[in-house]
Structure 1
């Protein structure tokens, strides 16, 4: 059997579920909430850092050959033979390869790899993951195309909102800014459930303005918090 995912507490689940139900009581919009530990492994970032480190190491060896030849002499106790140009080039390349492998091995530690990932890349990967999840579980799943996904990626301390066609046509992305700020602030304080609930409340207020609750308004998408 698959292992149950637990990124947040049972209390967080309850807080978010109650917030979604309360928000949807005033709108025909349907809010889906999803939380993930991390959106991407950033393996390519580790490869880039390793390549940059190896290139810099080989460049320094080429720019300051006397210094590195001195290290070579020290290691050989002065008994090493005089290196030819090709032999020296081979040593420089080997030095770069060792440097690449060393950095790559260090960056197998995920927290460091994540810390060295530029913020813009994190934001793009979180957005891409949110869009993928939206297409699978929210897009065109309501009769009025009024589904909206709130996605939180914990380790990146980032979140995103992806709205279905009808909502996107009336609500500009920047309108969700206050909801996102409330979410991220509380996540950084170690309160992911309260952060998502605050965001849901803000989203519900926006949706109620543009998509007020009608007489026939079935609950088409789950209110519960989804963990992946």
Structure 2
């Protein structure tokens, strides 16, 4: 899902309007996803492989029938043949799962929510450190980050804001953003969230004389 030019313009306008009322600086970033989750795919493939081993242990005739495909005239399956058939079945299970989990929607569907939340948060913090942290004189930068594939968002604030505004205060901004994203309107959700972030900043850090625009207003799409 890509944001349109109109979405970019709406979010940039919302940032400019919010910053006009506060000394705070808002950075907005939208990413396709926050992680590739290769480890999740590997874990599921290994779990499927172990499941096949358990199945073979419970029903050894599966391996016998596998060896029968190699030597249909054998009256008795040799131990080595059974082990070889089991090895082939286990390897095939592993490779099949890896192939299936190359499809990102399935990989995301099988990723635990807690894992997604940690990866999105980690990526948001990384981007905040690169784009906003310590880049304003008063340490009043805020990052609004949306990860589309996971449909999760994060708000990360610089030290001055974090010292005076608790994370719970951003709840309304997060709620409107995620609701709009679920409805297929991430651009509108970002703009609405920026408006609410701006209201919080205006309350705690009203604009003072000489305030300058220290960070870009444009929406960054990764």
- TM-score, L = length of structure 2: 0.94
RMSD: 1.7
Deviation at 1:187, TM superposition (A): 0.9
Q: 2:62 matched to 1:41?
A: no
Write the mapping of 1:199-210 to structure 2, written as runs, cut at 5 A.
199-210=193-204
Distance 2:146 2:184 in 1: 13
Q: Provide, for residues 20-63 of structure 1, a one-character-per-residue CA deviation record: whole Å limited to 9, x for no partner.
A: 11111111110000111111111111111110001001111012
2:183 aligned residue: 189
Contact 2:67 2:85 in 1 (8 A): no
Deviation at 1:71, TM superposition (A): 3.2
Contact 1:180 1:199 in 2 (8 A): yes
Write the mapping of 1:49-64 to structure 2, written as runs, cut at 5 A.
49-64=44-59
Contact 2:18 2:195 in 1 (8 A): yes
Contact 1:142 1:220 in 2 (8 A): yes
Q: Provide, for residues 88-134 of structure 1, a one-character-per-residue CA deviation record: whole Å limited to 9, x for no partner.
A: 23322321111001110111112221222121111111111111111
Contact 2:173 2:196 in 1 (8 A): yes
Distance 1:12 1:74 in 2: 62
Write the mapping of 1:163-182 to structure 2, written as runs, cut at 5 A.
163-182=157-176
Worse overlay, 70-79 or 96-105: 70-79
In structure 2, relative to structure 1, the CA distance for the partners of 1:69 and 1:125 (3 Å cut) is closer
The one of 1, 5, 23 equivalent to 2:18 is 23
Q: 2:151 matched to 1:150?
A: no
Specify every segment of 5 or more residues in structure 1 that has no aligned partner in the other structure, as ranges. 1-5
1:122 aligned residue: 116
2:156 aligned residue: 162
2:82 aligned residue: 88
In structure 2, relative to structure 1, the CA distance for the partners of 1:69 and 1:105 (3 Å cut) is closer
Residue aligned with 1:57, SS: helix
Write the mapping of 1:2-13 to structure 2, written as runs, cut at 5 A.
7-13=2-8
